[in-house]
Structure 1
Amino acid sequence: MSKKLELPECYEVLRPRVEKTLTPIVRVKAEEGATGIFDSKFGGNPYFPIDSEYPRDADGFPMKLLAQLNFEQIPHLDGYPTSGILQFYLSTKDGCFGFDYGGKVEHKNYRILFFDGELKGEDQLLRDFDFVKLTDEDEFPLYTGSEAKLTFTPDEEYMNLLDFRVEKETGMKSDWIPELEDFYTQSSEMAMKHKIGGYPGFTQCDPRGEYEELASYTKLLLQIDSDDAIGCEWGDAGVGNFFITEEDLAKRDFSKVYYNYDCC
């Protein structure tokens, strides 16, 4: 597969460098619908062994499943798991969707769980999740409490102008240049939508360029965009991203995932 790269004339000289950033990704399409307990999904109920400790936020409240990825259902990406179930949980009680400002990686109000190896049978799984149903006081990106089934498509993408590495890797400037407004807008739009891998999108700026301790978080585990079709809204038309270091991904260590969301 190949993607046509359109560059403004002033950046044509940089084409070889930009083309080197082309990387495989998996596009994710979400649509409301019931899912099985082992299925990939946004929202809904997780695969959860009864002998495991359910994730709770800093105040002891149970967190809610944002997303579940069953890698046996997902086209393979180099370096990513080929099996196992990866889950993303957020607090519904802190008013910021579990996000911690300041480049922190503390997992206080969000949690990432990975179930690898042989999965347990349904008779060994938790089935009653009434204790974590959304109330009118809760805050959660899937504000309707909807459940979305997912389909996956292999794709490729180039590094966009929002990525903190773009000037170093390609020579393109991330600063706003009025003459390049259309190109900047196109690059930003292409960075959005739901996906696994590749280069993230933001409505503000890339926090990995602001905090030195985040510079090694180069692998995008999952991006979930605002999506009216499934009742998903990150503040005002925002986007949520989950990052991991290449080293931790190789070790399948999801205990230090960095989570960010921003909005307009």
Structure 2
Amino acid sequence: MGKVLELPECYESLRPRIEKTLRPFIRITAEKGSTGRFDCKFGGDPYFPLDAEYPCDETGHPMKLLAQINFEQIPTLPLFPTSGILQFYLSVKDDSYGFDYGKGYEQKNFRALFFEKPIKDEDKLKKDFEFAKLSEEDEFPIFSGCEAKLTFTKDEEYMSIGDFRLEKDCGIKGNEWKPELEDFYNKCYDAALGHKIAGYPGFAQNDPRGEMEQLSGFTHLLLQIDSDDKIDCEWGDGGVGNFFITEEDLKKKDFSKVLYNYDCC
């Protein structure tokens, strides 16, 4: 086990349970910069075949690319694809960035698309995305419409304080704040945030998967994008966006039933 688990003395007896939750994940660093059509990115223009149907929201308006992950360009992760391009789109005509509380798996105003075998011939790819360009009236987490290039660092982490499974799997009651453990809780919350692929999520408020039974099966974090001044990203007031999938669908590379959550302070 490579990552040291630091625990307060009162939680030391829970160490064996907590250590079992160790998972690999990829930390993402984003910075403004141009990217190629096949590259991993936040914002910008997507890889998109000419013969594919561009995603639109429930009003028929074209959605905007939030993120593109090319699995050939990132470190490998258990269960995740090793090739193909995964994309996330959001409606820009919705003041909640396409999020629908309680129905975050219904891809009406957001969309997850997976191209398992990307076309290499650029003559067969769409080049003009002026129709999806942000206007001043549009609502989008990357509010300036900037494009961000990504770099990746593989790491490991234990189940985060905000995860809905914490008490059951680890024995820690994350919703019972103890003043003498404030520093420990704050460090745990901070560690769970940031941009990442896989691992455990961070939230500005609560984990919705613990509030609604129909969401409890979405146990694997696909992507998390945090508020980040360096790329003009702001989810409301200091919030964070997460995308989840079930283990079964991740194994099948079926991204048609993805859970999208966004919350802010």
* TM-score, normalising length: structure 1: 0.98
1:181 — aligned with what? 182
Instruction: Name the counterpart of 2:255.
Output: 254
Task: State whether structure 2 residue 235 is matched by structure 1 residue 230.
Answer: no
Match of 1:43 in 2: 43
Equivalence for 1:122: 122
> In structure 1, what is the Cα distance between the partners aligned to 2:119 and 2:131?
24
Aligned to 1:4: 4
* Matching of residues 2-151 of structure 1 within 5 Å: 2-151=2-151
Task: Name the CA distance, whole Å, in 2 between partners of 1:118 and 1:33.
Answer: 23
2: CA distance between counterparts of 1:67 and 1:129? 15
Aligned length: 264
Output the CA distance in 1 between the equivalents of 2:182 and 2:123. Answer: 56
8 A contact 1:224–1:240 mirrored in 2 = yes
User: What CA deviation, in whole Å up to 9, does each residue of 1:63-96 have, x standing for no partner?
Assistant: 0000000000010000000000000000000111
- Given that residues 69 and 87 in structure 2 are in contact (C-alpha distance below 8 angstroms), is that contact kept between their aligned partners in structure 1? yes
Distance in 2 (CA, whole Å) between partners of 1:53 and 1:158 is 39
Instruction: Give aligned-pair identity as a percent.
Output: 68
Measured in 2, the distance between the counterparts of 1:80 and 1:259 equals: 18
CA RMSD across the alignment:
0.9
Kept after mapping to 2: 8 A contact 1:103/1:207: no
Residue 155, structure 1, aligned to residue 192, structure 2:
no
Partner of 2:264: 263
Q: How far is the alpha carbon of 1:118 from its aligned partner? A: 4.6
Q: Return the letter of the residue paired with 1:81.
A: P
Structure 1 runs of 4+ off > 3 angstroms? none
State the SS of the aligned residue for 1:25: strand
Structure 2 residue identity aligned to 1:65: L
How many angstroms apart in 1 are the aligned matches of 2:96 and 2:3? Answer: 37
Q: What letter is aligned with 1:215?
A: S
Q: Supply the distance in 2 between the matched residues of 1:214 and 1:108 (Cα, whole angstroms).
A: 17
| CA–CA separation in structure 1 for the residues paired with 2:206 and 2:180 | 20
1:238, distance to aligned residue in structure 2 (A): 0.3
Partners of 2:261 and 2:242 lie apart in 1 by: 5
SS in 2 for 1:18: helix
The Cα of 1:8 is off from its aligned counterpart by 0.9
User: Any conservation in 2 of the 1:84–1:114 contact (CA below 8 Å)?
Assistant: yes
CA distance in 2, matches of 1:138, 1:219: 30
The structural deviation recorded for 1:120 is 3.6
How far has the Cα of 1:258 moved from its partner?
Answer: 0.4
TM (normalized to structure 2)? Answer: 0.98
Question: How far apart are the structure 2 equivalents of 1:58 and 1:118?
Answer: 27
Q: 1:195 to 1:63 in 2, by over 3 A?
A: same
Structure 1 gap ranges (5+): none
Q: Note the C-alpha offset of 1:250.
A: 0.8
Q: Secondary structure at the match of 2:156?
A: strand
